[in-house]
Amino acid sequence: VYPNPATDNLNIDWNNITGKKSIQIYNTVGQEIFTTTSTANVVNIDISNLPNSIYLIKLFIEDLLYKNVKFVKENSLNIFTDK
């Protein structure tokens, strides 16, 4: 899962694992806010509309939990610049 932290897009790289792959994203109160199924090796998810926060991603292969990953969504502005 990269980049982390992320601003507009999040990539899930399955490292050539085959089969039906599912992605679920949950907010900090446990609400499922996104789900998708894919057979692609790399999945790009648009997260630009999500508020800044920490999220949990659940990755499934053939409906079995493969991995839990946390990611941070943040603004694209750098707080150390004048912009």
Give the pLDDT confidence score for residue 51 in this predicted structure: 95
Mean pLDDT, rounded, of the chain: 92
Beta strands in 1-83 (DSSP E): 9-13, 21-26, 32-38, 42-46, 53-61, 64-73
| Whole-number pLDDT of residue 34 | 97
Q: What is the mean pLDDT of residues 9-23?
A: 95
Check whether the bond before 5 is cis (ω within 30° of 0). Answer: yes
**Spatial distance between the Cα atoms of 29 and 70, rounded to a whole number of angstroms:** 14
What pTM value is reported for the model? 0.87
